[in-house]
A and B are shown apart, each in its own frame.
Chain A
Amino acid sequence: MLTANPTGYVGSRIKRREDPRLVTGNGNFTDDLTPVGTVYLHMLRSPYAHAKIGSINTAAAKAMPGVLAVFTGEDLKKDLAGPIPGVPYGTVQTVPAYYPIATDKVRFVGNIVAAVVAETRGQARDAAEAIEVQYDVLPVVLDMEKAVKDGSPLLHDEIANNICTEIELGNDVTEAFNTAEVTVEHRFVNQRLVPNALENRVALAEFHQGDESVTLTVTSQNPHILRTLLSGEIGIAEHKIRVVAPDVGGGFGSKIATYAEEVIACIASRKVKKPVKWTETRSESFVATIHGRDNIDYIRMSATKDGKITGLDITAYANMGAYMSLLGPTVPVLCGVIVPGPYAIPNVHFKAICVYTNTTPTDAYRGAGRPEATYMLERTMNMMAEKLGMDPMELRRKNFIQPDQFPYFNIVALNYDSGNYEAAMDKALEIFGYNEMRKTQEEARKNGKYIGIGQSTYVEVCGLGPGSGMTISRGYDCAVVRAELTGKVTVFTGVAPHGQGQETTFAQIVADEFNVPIEDVTIKHGDTEMTPYGMGTYGSRGTAVGGGALMLAIGSVKDKAKKIAAFQMEANEEDIVFEGGKFSVKGASGGKSISFQEVCLKAYIDPKMAPVIEPGLEATRYFEPGNFVYPFGTHLAAVEVDAETGNVKILKYVCVDDCGKQLNPMIVEGQIHGGLTQGIAQALYEEAVYDDNGQLVSGTLMDYALPTAAELPHYTLDHTVTPTTVNPLGVKGIGEAGTIASTPVIVNAVVDALKPLGVKDIQMPLRPEKVWKIIHNGASANGSAGADASVVEQHFGEDNK
């Protein structure tokens, strides 16, 4: 539990301690580092989505100026201990070998076929162009629903029907649908997205001849996990690998997985005996770094006539891309487990079919599975409300899990920790002015204007994760708290912030707990040689889990400090209280006390303590929560669709989120702003488009629409506070909530705006040209999210009629 302290840092808008270096150009990003003697690595990538590799001729490249080494798949295999790992889940029989450099076949545009090391970037690039590769082009598999049919070309000979895995969760819903009074069913496409952290990936490998160890400085969200996996890939033992993640320029999930280029850089450095640096270009990143989403979701929902939801049934096709990336099959699991959302639904069935296609591998992208779940659920809620003739908010209110039902088991897998969904909703409705907005909408309609209101009431699951119950590994994080001799405090954390601001929030906690000025605290992270085994930063876990470890370590340091104080004041340890930065004896008059700083000094130098108390004042603790955490909230938006241009303008966006206790509201808001923007951008702008040959058409920032400041609205934020007992801080994660909630809000709003035209759904992204066509050619142009109703009917068969 947090201590009340006059320093009062926790809960305040403390300016970030990361910022002075970052606003002055003194950040330390991987590409900023160039050790003496650094040489450069460049990848030759496949221009084909699916082809057999015939011959590769590297002779000309090897003879070019400055070239130190050229690797083909076969060359690299000799130095390789294992392929790039993916974590299987569900019915997986085999994980196809994903070699850093392709050996037999290329399976997506961007698959590496050769790598060149040269003295300069330019030389490496020039030489790569001189490599001749002969390809025998094969038929391309892109459409998931076709890929699984018998007779479809196979990506991996050993994988039947291109099915990576099937995952099934929940209970039997047959009865619920057989007896349903009302049902709705639909097919949603959750399009493919490109994470686009602003810093591309970079790997700098330094092999040390002396002790045959390697240091990899890299853009990673989880240096320790990467070190373990890298060891399995390059065959150097874990204790001889150091992974450093310095300042990292955003990740959003794309810097979790282990990648080919890191492996090649390490092996190349060992071979050429020099530091080897690889810097991804943006266009390269579009094909080489994981993509996100790309699901086709068949969903049906049953309800009673008065609006009680009785069943939910989902089949999700999840595109894995060409190989199994680290968390490929985990993403649909994260979708399935939360798919009932904040509603008490007694019957829920979820099935995911994970499919290999000739595309860039997919993995976790901000929200990972939870945006997919929330999107289809919140869109379907509105379709159900429409069918029942209810206001969408009323339908939600009717089905919320009630505050006294927590902890609540959601039928699929999870025990929600705490929540008060209606409170957040009421607050949002009030701030938004929901009823007035309905009137404005009515007026606007009379004047031929298209104004719509969109909503989403979400719950998400984050703070990965519990010690048990996760599919891959136990989930925890660690912290070392070291009170230094001079009374300063150094903390080493196992989480790896890259924008989330834990250098500040963790320092706030430490400063309050020890009652020291925040200037006396330093938070260190991102170096496997410096911190114990940490799991890193993803899944909104940094503060919920890493902060828990910090609290435990602080507690242990306090315990020892009390022992020292007791010795110094010749009192009983149990009688020592720590308050206002001073240790004193309970009940003793005379005001004898000793400061935290004095205790630190004594801990290291007092010879009188020698036989009694071990020197030093530090603790290493791990925190392994008993559950995930479940942030929630209500988001509302009003949009206006311009009939002339098809452009969607967001008039108002209000969100009320509940992430439990807020350590630094300014940072919480920043996380929400960024999250909202990525979710809204999925609804309106972003889409990775492949042509029939498997070429990524939207493969640069010229073709892939990242939102700019000019398109976005000013968001109105508020919150409720429902603490959790899952961790010592009472916090829930907030990094992904905005993204999870916001996508359906916008689509619901646009569909609502175009309701007078009979529009029931529009497939994302809602680009002006698409919206314009619907307005001018009628709703049929929209084609029910990319497939007509008969396809959906066929999918669910006759049993729900």
Chain B
Amino acid sequence: MKKTVKLTVNGTTYERDVEPRTLLVHFLRDNLGLTGTHIGCDTSQCGACTVLVNGQSLKSCTAFAVQMQGAEITTIEGLAKEGELHPIQQGFWEMHGLQCGYCTPGMIMQSVQLLDRNANPSEEEIRHGIEGNLCRCTGYQNIVKSIQWAAQHKNQGATEVPEADAPQVDPKPISPVP
């Protein structure tokens, strides 16, 4: 018994028949082929599935597709505009904010909301703001720096991005080894 849902994703309007039990995240991945939104859990803890619904971040595993009637959704695929990375995407690249990249789409979408609400967050505010998104690889330190980078570049005059922790290694080759 399928239901029809009409919604806009990344600027394109779709009308689709879906099973009422279809989660938004499955709808995005399976029906629309937008596989950038990931699934990391089944208890709404990890945040890998985070998207923007009408400008608010939402874990897309916590809603049914049929609840999205008329909604405007942005997924990671819709963030870069005209081939230009969004400052947060750029920040993650600049500051090594990802390793395996599995948490990254959700982490970036959450950060979009974070900076929308607070253009110049402190480290503590950033850490608190991404608390609902788990990353198993980075230990979060470079994610924090990525968001700081984005804040600085979105909003001139924001706090300085912290220096890298380790001094750059002397680029000279090491003594010969066999």
Do the two chains belong together in a single complex? yes
Taking beta carbons and an 8 Å cutoff, which residues of A are in contact with B? 1-4, 8, 10-13, 15-16, 18-20, 22-27, 29, 31-32, 34, 122, 196-200, 247-250, 252, 281-283, 498-501, 660-662, 665-671, 673-678, 700-702, 706, 708-710, 712, 714-719, 721, 723-725, 727-728, 730
B116 interface residue (CB < 8 Å to A): no
- Which of A1, A20, A247, A701 makes the CB contact (< 8 A) with B176? A1
Residue pair B134, A199 in contact (C-beta under 8 Å): no
Contact size range, B: 35 or more
- Known contacts A11-B169, A717-B166; is-contact A282 B40 (Cβ 8 Å): yes
B108 interface residue (CB < 8 Å to A): yes
- Closest B-chain residue to A670, C-beta based? B96
- Known contacts A1-B176, A1-B177; is-contact A674 B138 (Cβ 8 Å): yes
A-B contact sample (18 more), CB < 8 A, given A281-B42, A282-B46, A669-B166: A16-B98, A19-B93, A23-B92, A25-B34, A25-B37, A29-B102, A32-B29, A122-B19, A196-B136, A197-B136, A250-B137, A499-B137, A660-B174, A678-B136, A712-B127, A719-B166, A724-B177, A725-B178
Residue pair B99, A501 in contact (C-beta under 8 Å): yes
Inter-chain contacts of A34 with B (CB < 8 A): 30
Residue pair B35, A32 in contact (C-beta under 8 Å): yes
Taking beta carbons and an 8 Å cutoff, which residues of B are in contact with A? 19, 21, 29-30, 34-43, 45-46, 48, 75-77, 79-80, 85, 89, 92-94, 96, 98-105, 108, 123, 126-128, 130-144, 164-178
Top 7 A-B residue pairs of the complex, sorted by shortest distance between their CB atoms: A25-B36, A249-B102, A22-B101, A677-B139, A499-B100, A499-B99, A673-B139
- Known contacts A32-B35, A249-B102; is-contact A1 B166 (Cβ 8 Å): no
Residue pair A198, B48 in contact (C-beta under 8 Å): yes
- Which of A24, A667, A700, A725 makes the CB contact (< 8 A) with B43? A700
A380 CB, min distance to chain B CBs, angstroms? 27
- Which of A27, A501, A662, A700 makes the CB contact (< 8 A) with B42? A700
**In the docked arrangement, what's the CA distance between A669 and B138, Å?**
9
**In the docked arrangement, what's the CA distance between A665 and B143, Å?**
17
- Which of A671, A709, A724 makes the CB contact (< 8 A) with B143? A709
Residue pair B131, A709 in contact (C-beta under 8 Å): yes
A689 CB, min distance to chain B CBs, angstroms? 17
Residue pair B139, A674 in contact (C-beta under 8 Å): yes
Inter-chain contacts of A718 with B (CB < 8 A): 165-167
Residue pair B46, A198 in contact (C-beta under 8 Å): yes
Inter-chain contacts of B37 with A (CB < 8 A): 25
Inter-chain contacts of A675 with B (CB < 8 A): 139
**In the docked arrangement, what's the CA distance between A34 and B35, Å?**
10
- Known contacts A1-B176, A700-B43; is-contact A721 B169 (Cβ 8 Å): yes
A693 CB, min distance to chain B CBs, angstroms? 22
16 pairs from A and B in contact (CB 8 Å cutoff): A1-B176, A10-B171, A11-B169, A12-B168, A23-B92, A24-B36, A26-B36, A198-B102, A198-B134, A249-B38, A665-B169, A673-B138, A674-B136, A709-B133, A723-B177, A725-B178
Inter-chain contacts of B40 with A (CB < 8 A): 198-200, 282
Inter-chain contacts of A122 with B (CB < 8 A): 19, 21
B161 CB, min distance to chain A CBs, angstroms? 13
A449 CB, min distance to chain B CBs, angstroms? 21
**In the docked arrangement, what's the CA distance between A700 and B39, Å?**
14
- Which of B93, B99, B128 makes the CB contact (< 8 A) with A670? B99
- Closest B-chain residue to A655, C-beta based? B165
- Closest A-chain residue to B26, C-beta based? A121
Inter-chain contacts of B43 with A (CB < 8 A): 282-283, 700-702
Inter-chain contacts of B172 with A (CB < 8 A): 4, 11
- Closest B-chain residue to A284, C-beta based? B42
Inter-chain contacts of B45 with A (CB < 8 A): 700-702, 706
- Closest A-chain residue to B123, C-beta based? A714
**In the docked arrangement, what's the CA distance between A248 and B127, Å?**
26
Inter-chain contacts of A702 with B (CB < 8 A): 43, 45
- Known contacts A677-B139, A710-B128, A723-B175; is-contact A11 B98 (Cβ 8 Å): no
B167 CB, min distance to chain A CBs, angstroms? 8
- Closest B-chain residue to A715, C-beta based? B141
- Known contacts A25-B77, A702-B43; is-contact A250 B136 (Cβ 8 Å): yes
- Known contacts A199-B102, A730-B174; is-contact A11 B94 (Cβ 8 Å): no
Residue pair A198, B139 in contact (C-beta under 8 Å): no
Q: A-B pairs with CB below 8 Å: how many?
A: 229
**In the docked arrangement, what's the CA distance between A706 and B101, Å?**
18
Inter-chain contacts of A27 with B (CB < 8 A): 36, 101-102
**In the docked arrangement, what's the CA distance between A701 and B42, Å?**
8
**In the docked arrangement, what's the CA distance between A675 and B140, Å?**
11
A735 CB, min distance to chain B CBs, angstroms? 10
Inter-chain contacts of A23 with B (CB < 8 A): 76, 85, 89, 92-93, 98, 101, 104-105, 108
- Closest A-chain residue to B39, C-beta based? A31
Inter-chain contacts of B34 with A (CB < 8 A): 25
Residue pair A701, B101 in contact (C-beta under 8 Å): no
Inter-chain contacts of A199 with B (CB < 8 A): 38, 40, 100, 102
**In the docked arrangement, what's the CA distance between A210 and B126, Å?**
55
Inter-chain contacts of A32 with B (CB < 8 A): 29, 35
B10 CB, min distance to chain A CBs, angstroms? 10
B76, B85, B104, B169 — most chain A CB neighbours (10 Å): B169
A467 CB, min distance to chain B CBs, angstroms? 15
- Which of B19, B123, B168 makes the CB contact (< 8 A) with A13? B168
Inter-chain contacts of A249 with B (CB < 8 A): 38, 100-102
- Which of B94, B127, B135, B166 makes the CB contact (< 8 A) with A665? B166
B130 CB, min distance to chain A CBs, angstroms? 5
**In the docked arrangement, what's the CA distance between A11 and B38, Å?**
33
Residue pair B77, A666 in contact (C-beta under 8 Å): no
- Which of A2, A250, A710 makes the CB contact (< 8 A) with B127? A710
Residue pair A669, B177 in contact (C-beta under 8 Å): no
**In the docked arrangement, what's the CA distance between A107 and B163, Å?**
52
Residue pair B100, A24 in contact (C-beta under 8 Å): no
**In the docked arrangement, what's the CA distance between A26 and B108, Å?**
14
- Closest B-chain residue to A671, C-beta based? B99
B112 CB, min distance to chain A CBs, angstroms? 12
Inter-chain contacts of B176 with A (CB < 8 A): 1
Residue pair B174, A2 in contact (C-beta under 8 Å): yes
A487 CB, min distance to chain B CBs, angstroms? 24
**In the docked arrangement, what's the CA distance between A708 and B127, Å?**
8
- Which of B132, B140, B164 makes the CB contact (< 8 A) with A666? B164
**In the docked arrangement, what's the CA distance between A281 and B100, Å?**
19
- Known contacts A250-B137, A709-B144, A719-B166; is-contact A24 B131 (Cβ 8 Å): no
Residue pair A29, B174 in contact (C-beta under 8 Å): no
Residue pair A22, B127 in contact (C-beta under 8 Å): no
**In the docked arrangement, what's the CA distance between A708 and B140, Å?**
8
- Closest B-chain residue to A716, C-beta based? B165
Inter-chain contacts of B138 with A (CB < 8 A): 670, 673-674, 677
**In the docked arrangement, what's the CA distance between A282 and B61, Å?**
13
**In the docked arrangement, what's the CA distance between A669 and B142, Å?**
9
- Known contacts A19-B101, A499-B101, A676-B139; is-contact A706 B96 (Cβ 8 Å): no
B162 CB, min distance to chain A CBs, angstroms? 8
Inter-chain contacts of A706 with B (CB < 8 A): 45, 134, 136
A739 CB, min distance to chain B CBs, angstroms? 10
- Known contacts A198-B102, A247-B101, A281-B42; is-contact A712 B96 (Cβ 8 Å): no
Inter-chain contacts of A717 with B (CB < 8 A): 165-166
- Known contacts A3-B173, A23-B92, A122-B21; is-contact A709 B77 (Cβ 8 Å): no
- Closest B-chain residue to A4, C-beta based? B173
- Known contacts A4-B173, A23-B104, A701-B43; is-contact A669 B164 (Cβ 8 Å): yes
**In the docked arrangement, what's the CA distance between A730 and B37, Å?**
40
- Closest A-chain residue to B144, C-beta based? A709
Inter-chain contacts of B94 with A (CB < 8 A): 15
Inter-chain contacts of B42 with A (CB < 8 A): 281-283, 700
Residue pair A666, B96 in contact (C-beta under 8 Å): yes
B17 CB, min distance to chain A CBs, angstroms? 14
Residue pair A723, B174 in contact (C-beta under 8 Å): yes
Inter-chain contacts of B132 with A (CB < 8 A): 708
